[in-house]
Amino acid sequence: MKHHNIYICGTILATAAMICSCDDYLDIVPKGKAQLETTDDYLGLLEEVSPSYEHSNFWAMSGESSWNKSEELKAYTYPLWSTAFFWDESYDRAANTIESSLYNNCYDRITRYNALIDGIADSKGNEADKKTGLAQGRIMRAYNYFFLVNTFAPPYDPATAYTDNGIIVREKMFESIEEEGVQQSVGYTYDFIQKDIDAALDDLPDRALNSFRPDKTFGYALKAKVHLYKREFEQCLNACEKALEAAKAGGHELWDMTVDYKKYAPLLTQMGYPEQAIDNPAYMGINDFVETIWKSRVTYGYDGAEYLLYQYGNTKDDPFPMYVTKEVLNLFERKADLRYRYCIRYKAQHDTAPEGSQDFATTGIKWNPSGMRLSEVYLMLAECYARKATPEAISQAMVYLETLRSKRCVAGRYTHLSTTDATEALRFVREERKRELFLTYNGFFDMRRLCREFNETVSKEFEGKTYTLSPTSHLLVYPFPVKAMQNSNLKQNSK
């Protein structure tokens, strides 16, 4: 895979954190900009060595992951993780979140994108490349603001969006390190995100240089996602349809996971392994070699055609290793669903893990925990059609679900979802989102938006005790880190 990275000196990447005299800081930005002369210099700002979004704590909050040692969970050995897992509102997260790499990394990227957006037009280079780079900078800025507003601010509610406190929005490269950012409302932030997306769409390339850069399909998919979160379902449908059309030119298609199953299952049978060891997870412990085939021989890389944008979790290896809760695992038809077969170890590696938890164990599949996949477009289409609630629309929602599920499950073994009831159709969609998008950021973001929209209280069991999370819980909003509060005029949104 071809990458086009450059290293930018501290005058651009760390300006906000520097401590300088009044005489010194005034000329920092001009010096930084002077180092970016060619269009290629600016295009290098689009990528970084490790495009990470540390959000593994989201997985505990959304009930997707536990821990490999139950006693450590209960003892609050890692208090922020335990607080998320147990939905503990008594723990003061705001006082104990000193720094947040998610917060810092997103704003560092936004600083780079602002430098690109402000300066690429005057750089030395090809005009077409300038237009492409400007569009890609805008769409990536929008994506990072989308991450920030859905982590550190209340969920979007049409009734309160313009009075709900949001995040700092920097619309351009700051002029000095003493310039303070302005904390905007949730509604303002979403408007800015949509403005960036709409300004970028026409000039995004059909195919990007690699999967770490955005293309037109990603642009329309992100547009659809923003409309979905704003409950603008007709606009979401329209953007999804454009994303599917763009996918043809972009070379994007759903990953057919059954191809590898059809390749390896017959070979294993020919090698003398019993059919039940191949096809029934309950027998997988018969021979570790069989499980190794599914967990390492089945591969899907960064540049998989389904990936519209690839971004890391905390590291490039996330979410391996991570323990998945029994509540999520129970959503899978284990004999049929290849997402389970390829990614989940059939028995827990550590017997100290919570009962029923099993670890995410694939070493061959790059899971893309922080990017976007084409499958999201199908899920958004299914959700929007299910919400229409007419017989024709519900039928269409089932078609989109079936299209996805046929690529994920062994033919003849999985349940073909069918209903004429709008409530059941939406439940099918929500459960499929949990299966398809587990151990990405979507589980937590979905929890936020749907708890708020439907006024839902969620619950779970752990060692015989029931835990609940209300739709008004402050836990659905992560607090700004202490250092961010100290260095700005932020008003805290959580605790």
Average pLDDT, rounded, for the chain: 91
Taking the C-alpha atoms of residue 475 and residue 404, their distance in angstroms, rounded to an integer, is 32
Stretch 16-38: mean pLDDT: 44
Element (H, E) at 185: strand 183-185
Q: Is residue 10 classed exposed, middle or buried when 0-12, 13-18 and 19+ CB atoms within 10 A define those classes?
A: exposed
Taking the C-alpha atoms of residue 3 and residue 115, their distance in angstroms, rounded to an integer, is 20
Check residue 282 and give its pLDDT.
Answer: 73
Stretch 274-292: mean pLDDT: 77
Q: Is the pLDDT of residue 398 over 70?
A: yes
Check residue 35 and give its pLDDT.
Answer: 82
Check residue 290 and give its pLDDT.
Answer: 85
By percentage, how much of the chain surpasses pLDDT 90? Answer: 82
Confidence grade of residue 278 (pLDDT, cut at 50, 70, 90): confident
E-only strand ranges, 193-243: none
Q: Is residue 363 classed exposed, middle or buried when 0-12, 13-18 and 19+ CB atoms within 10 A define those classes?
A: middle
Confidence grade of residue 286 (pLDDT, cut at 50, 70, 90): low
pTM exceeds 0.85? yes
Confidence grade of residue 19 (pLDDT, cut at 50, 70, 90): very low
DSSP code for 98? -
